[in-house]
Structure 1
Amino acid sequence: MRHNGSARALGLSTLAMTASFVIWSVFSPIAGQIQEIFQLSTLQKSVLIATPILLGSILRIPMGIYTDRYGGKKVFTATMLFLTLPLLLAGWAQSYWMLLLCALFIGMAGTTFAVSLTYVSRWFTPERQGLILGLAGLGNLGGAVANFSIPIIFSRYGLSWVFWSLAIMIVVVTLIFWLGTKELPKPAQTKTFKQSMEVLKQEPTWFLSIFYFLTFGGFVAFSVYLPTFLKELFQLSVTDAGLKTAGFVVVATLIRPLGGYLADRLGSRKVLAVVFAGIAVCALVMALSLQHFVAFSVGCLMASVLLGLGNGAVFKMVPEVSTGNTGAVTGIVGAAGGIGGFFPPIVLGIINDLSGAYTLGFVLLMITACACLWMNLATKRLKAAKKVAMA
């Protein structure tokens, strides 16, 4: 059943998630400048970029469950207000370690993904979940906004005001969200944390987590590391690299609802089979074109389309896994996706420090995509075999 206020809940949740994702992506667009200011190694820079992703991923699990229990309006509002603290402190940070500590807590911005999708999913009927959750996922556009706006703020006002301006912005958005949304009635029975985590015993939860580890993890990894690729490999300026990365994020995000819609119509597994095979091909193209800007750009563009479609298709399946535990499954799968974005920047930093090239990183992406393709096809055959056995 669709409730009154569902469109407003979807719209304002997407706005709040977009604002939060601008904050979650704050370090990537100006990582090079921060590296110069604090005299950081490539690995230290990679750790700074990846740190917000870690906390923002792991805490998606309890945040999704708490959204089920206490309501999305309350949890969303509290999370956004909390973000003002590390942002204000980051503006006064005088050392790398202080900035890294602030980056850890800024990672709370990434948990709004689980809060938003859990909150929005309760407003709409199951047959529309693919498209609706794809639309809710448009909050990922915050990454594009960050890549476009953060370098401009930095160049005009300096590093401190990058963080302080975001603190002001999130307070304004919190106020709009609080005044414009309402809470749905709580379920008659609320589950304990332990009961909610029972979904970990279900195979589909693990498969979806692995699939999202690749699709959303790949999206996040490209979003945060593509500026570094473009500056180091092709000598692009900070602004130009930021704009091109913003383009990647926009394409991957805007096509996400189409992935959900196609999954509604054709089935998630068919869509994901095409996505995983395509990502493997794109990874190979990028591995072979690290000295050729046009070919590398084509590979990135195709990867952005496929990753976006995959993100939408995976989350179409989430409410099907456990209708009474949407928050838990959303949190677990979302955490897996976020962790999938945490490791690649660090791994790429280590690979580049040791070998002087990023080729192996794209080879690992290709291998992961092939493994997901195999799992998708294998679970489809297993499901078909069970149906035959039960007939």
Structure 2
Amino acid sequence: MINKLQLPLQTMNLVLGFMVWVIISALLPFIQEDIAIPADRVAILTAIPVVLGSVLRIPLGYYANVVGARMVFITSFILLLFPVYFISIATSFTHLVVGGLFLGIGGAVFSVGVTSLPKYHLKEKLGLVNGIYGMGNLGTAITTFAAPVIATQIGWSATVQLYLILLLVFVALNAVFGDRKETKVKTPIMEQVKGVYKNDKLWYFSLFYFITFGSFVAFTVYLPNFLVSHFELPKVDAGLRTAGFILIATFLRPVGGWLADKFKPLFLLMGVFIGMTLAAVVLAFSPSLALYTVGCLTIAVCAGLGNGIIFKLVPFYFNKQAGIVNGIVSMMGGLGGFFPPLMLSFIHSVTGQYSIGFMALSQVALASFVLVVWMYYQDKLTVASQVFNSTGQGILVTDAKKRIHAVNPAFTRLTGYEEEEVLGRNPNLLKSGRQSSAFYQIMWTEIMEKGSWQGEIWNRRKNGEEYLELLTINAVKDETGDIVHYVGTFSDITDHPPRKHA
């Protein structure tokens, strides 16, 4: 029973964490009525919670494996009580910055669930599971929509204090329904880091999540104030539009995970980055509110799908180091939400427009598309290499002039020759002398006419021992029909009676 509760409980934990994470950005128009905030520091204030919310994802993902998700969630919510209360009584910009920094704990809890939940579900369903958990992003929509409405009735300070009650409720829920017997992994954190930091895929996924989740966070924290200042929309209207953006991105996250369970996730990711590229180009031309809405909604769709797809890929490639990798990748996504608002604010202060910033997003998204394409073909090469190296049959590949180009480990095991001893040489170094010249002439005639040959042949190992092998030779041609390689595969059948003698 407790196991079945973990997905809904941890998803609701994430909802609350994200609700707390964006308190300042959602209520900023109200806070500015009481606290003077310089225009050039608004972006810094809205981005501040993202800093700790990103950096803390690594240790929280790690400790979710060490002490279990239950204890990490309880501790995080208790710690959040202090900055939430401090913000509710803030009277200066500095107070908001300090309190906002520690609100980051709310965003950091994301890495707890993506580390814990795979322990309860089959690998084939992790895309959907992580996608459902990722719907905890909905917390940002709830705060963005509800907080301004409540603040118009009771004021922003009292609205912030309502979150103290929610935090205490969820401390109790996790204490009662959290899994006390969750499987623990106690590998030292530095050992885990050393085991993954040289893996290219870690940094590719970090970049991809930097773009997809970073776009989600950046638009979430920046849209409310941007829509009010740039398009002069009412504060509640701006909050509703931002909530719509969040809802679309959030509900499409499990869709992205589900699609990644059913189809090739890298293909899906290519579509995501093409869509983001085109949408960012639209936004770069400072369009009307209608076109701006289309561009933002396209970003929401791509960000939501992309977030779900990426967290299908992480446990697929990093099953044993999921905690630390989830922490690193999700940290980079959080940082992806920190830099764009600052960059957009700086560009606007210098140029008076946001076009350059959105064009930069389009170029980074396009570069990500190219990297995904490269990863897809790298994976295909890796699979081919694994098959080549792990098969039990000996394999040798020659060029068109019959010079050995590559051999596999089984070749060495069967013949005794190491790869460096045979590269560039003719396969006739294996000849036993039992077959006549006529035998080889017939063999090569058949290869040239039919493209392949199979038969039994006596060859000689490096130590001089003769053995009977079943040999298949295939000619590999390019698109013009010219032979570029010959591939020979063979197995030792000395212990089996031959069907024919040469």
Q: Structure 1-normalised TM-score? A: 0.95
The more displaced of 162-171 and 44-53 is 162-171
Residue 305 (structure 2) pairs with residue 309 (structure 1): yes
CA distance in 2 between counterparts of 1:107 and 1:207 reads 24
Residue 67 (structure 2) pairs with residue 70 (structure 1): yes
Higher helix fraction: Structure 1 or Structure 2?
1
The alpha-carbon deviation at position 370 of structure 1 amounts to: 0.5
The alpha-carbon deviation at position 389 of structure 1 amounts to: 4.1
Which residue of the partner structure matches residue 27 of structure 1?
A: 24
Residue 233 (structure 2) pairs with residue 230 (structure 1): no
Which residue of the partner structure matches residue 123 of structure 1?
A: 120
Between the two proteins, the alignment pairs up a number of residues equal to: 386
Structure 2 residue ranges without an equivalent (≥5): 389-502
> Identity across aligned pairs (percent)?
35
CA contact (8 A) 1:209 1:334 kept: yes
Q: Tell me: CA distance 1:122–1:232, structure 2 relative to 1, closer, same or farther (3 Å).
A: same
CA distance in 1 between counterparts of 2:105 and 2:188 reads 22
Structure 1 residue ranges without an equivalent (≥5): none
Question: RMSD over aligned Cα, in angstroms?
Answer: 1.4
Which residue of the partner structure matches residue 221 of structure 1?
A: 218
Residue 334 (structure 2) pairs with residue 346 (structure 1): no
CA distance in 2 between counterparts of 1:26 and 1:185 reads 32
Pick the structure with greater CA Rg.
2
- Greater relative contact order, per chain length (Cα 8 Å cut-off, separation 6+): 1
CA distance in 2 between counterparts of 1:86 and 1:233 reads 30
**SS state of the match for residue 385, structure 1?**
helix
What's the CA shift string for 1:54-92, capped at 9, x where partnerless?
100011001100101110001111101110011111112
Residue 316 (structure 2) pairs with residue 298 (structure 1): no
CA distance in 1 between counterparts of 2:139 and 2:347 reads 28
Which residue of the partner structure matches residue 322 of structure 1?
A: 318
Residue 169 (structure 2) pairs with residue 160 (structure 1): no
Amino acid at match of 2:323: G
Amino acid at match of 1:316: K
What's the CA shift string for 1:199-258, capped at 9, x where partnerless?
212111111100000000001001111112221222111100001100110110001111
CA distance in 1 between counterparts of 2:295 and 2:287 reads 13
Which residue of the partner structure matches residue 187 of structure 2?
A: 191
CA contact (8 A) 1:227 1:242 kept: yes
What's the CA shift string for 1:272-328, capped at 9, x where partnerless?
00000010001111222x341111111111211111000000000111222122111
**SS state of the match for residue 167, structure 2?**
helix
Amino acid at match of 1:38: I
Which residue of the partner structure matches residue 267 of structure 1?
A: 264
Amino acid at match of 1:40: I
**SS state of the match for residue 257, structure 1?**
helix
Which residue of the partner structure matches residue 425 of structure 2?
A: none
Residue 116 (structure 2) pairs with residue 111 (structure 1): no
**SS state of the match for residue 128, structure 2?**
helix
CA distance in 1 between counterparts of 2:33 and 2:317 reads 47
CA contact (8 A) 1:55 1:105 kept: yes
Residue 203 (structure 2) pairs with residue 206 (structure 1): yes
Which residue of the partner structure matches residue 287 of structure 1?
A: 284
CA contact (8 A) 2:2 2:177 kept: no
The more displaced of 194-203 and 66-75 is 194-203
Which residue of the partner structure matches residue 81 of structure 1?
A: 78
The alpha-carbon deviation at position 35 of structure 1 amounts to: 3.4
Which residue of the partner structure matches residue 16 of structure 1?
A: 13
Q: Tell me: CA distance 1:184–1:321, structure 2 relative to 1, closer, same or farther (3 Å).
A: farther
Amino acid at match of 2:181: L
The more displaced of 345-354 and 66-75 is 345-354
CA contact (8 A) 2:144 2:239 kept: yes
CA contact (8 A) 1:153 1:161 kept: no
Higher strand fraction: Structure 1 or Structure 2?
2
Residue 86 (structure 2) pairs with residue 50 (structure 1): no
Which residue of the partner structure matches residue 363 of structure 1?
A: 359
Say which of 98, 101, 104 aligns to 1:101: 98
Q: Structure 2-normalised TM-score? A: 0.75
**SS state of the match for residue 131, structure 1?**
helix
Amino acid at match of 1:342: F
